[in-house]
């Protein structure tokens, strides 16, 4: 490697993006801890970094691996299942909270519904969607960050979008409001 990389500079420059990626992959509750793991691994391996890829690609690959490991872990699955059993809190238990508007409440519910659908996708599909559609990386950048060939990244992204579309059609009822803005409501379950 031609240049020496200072860990503090690396951390300061890339932590916000890595943290944002991890929040989208594993959720707010685990993102900080996972970011710590990512940068601990990066710090340990920094001396061995050969520069075969960019530093950003190397860090995102570490972050993706850390996120997928967590999502596959039995403890994470048990915790997610127990949170699902709790359900949504009763509005009266939250107390009176002033909201910006009914429109914002609808938007928040729609975002939560879509987020649940995305969270239900397999980790490898979620990773390509987040990197491509939310983080704005090109397919080549997604491929590099996930350690895939460009063709494999494109195929995975296509499959992820197809699966997301089908899941959204099953879980959400889309409509346009009075202002012509797209909204969605959760479809009612059939007694399940």
User: What domains sit in the chain, N to C, each tagged with a CATH number?
Assistant: 1-86 (1.10.1740.10), 101-192 (1.10.10.10)
| Measured distance CA(135)–CA(142) in Å, rounded | 10
* Residue 61 clears pLDDT 80, i.e. is over it: yes
Judge whether residue 190 has pLDDT over 60.
no
Q: Is pLDDT above 50 for 1?
A: no
- The token pair that represents 151 in the structure block: 């063709």
Asked if 20 and 135 touch (Cβ cutoff 8 Å), the reply is yes
Asked if residue 124 lies in contact with residue 159, where contact means CB atoms within 8 angstroms, the answer is no
Q: pTM score, two decimals?
A: 0.60
Express as a percent the part of the chain with pLDDT over 70: 77
Report the distance separating Cα 37 and Cα 118, nearest Å.
Answer: 24
**4 vs 158 pLDDT, higher one:** 158
Quick check: 71 and 25 in contact, CB under 8 A? yes
Task: Convert the pLDDT of each residue in 103-150 to its tens digit.
Answer: 666 677 777 777 888 888 998 999 999 999 888 899 999 999 888 999
User: How much is the average pLDDT of 4-18?
Assistant: 89
- Cα four-point dihedral sign 42, 43, 47, 51: positive
Check whether 159 has a pLDDT greater than 90.
yes
- Site of tokens 């690609």: 57
The string of pLDDT tens digits covering residues 81-107 is 444 443 444 443 334 433 456 666 667
SS3 of 160-192: HHHHHHHHHHHHEEEEECCCCCEEEEECCCCCC
Predicted confidence at residue 57, as pLDDT, reads 87
Local confidence band at 171 (pLDDT 50, 70, 90 cut-offs): confident
Whole-angstrom Cα Rg for the chain: 19
């Amino acid at each position: 490697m031609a240049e020496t990389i200072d860990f503090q500079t690396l951390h300061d420059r890339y932590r916000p993006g890595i943290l944002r990626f991890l929040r989208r992959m594993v959720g707010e509750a685990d993102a900080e801890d996972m970011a710590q793991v990512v940068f601990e691994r990066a710090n340990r391996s920094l001396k061995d970094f050969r520069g075969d890829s960019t530093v950003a690609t190397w860090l995102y690959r570490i972050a993706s691996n850390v996120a997928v490991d967590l999502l596959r872990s039995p403890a994470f699955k048990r915790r997610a299942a127990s949170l699902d059993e709790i359900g949504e809190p009763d509005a009266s238990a939250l107390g009176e909270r002033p909201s910006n508007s009914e429109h914002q409440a609808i938007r928040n519910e729609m975002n939560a519904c879509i987020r649940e659908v995305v969270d239900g996708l397999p980790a490898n599909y979620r990773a390509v969607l987040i990197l491509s559609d939310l983080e704005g990386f090109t397919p080549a950048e997604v491929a590099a960050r996930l350690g895939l060939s460009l063709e494999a990244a494109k195929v995975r992204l296509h499959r992820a979008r197809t699966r997301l579309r089908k899941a959204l059609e099953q879980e959400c009822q889309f409509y346009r409001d009075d202002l012509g803005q797209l909204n969605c409501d959760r479809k009612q379950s059939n007694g399940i």
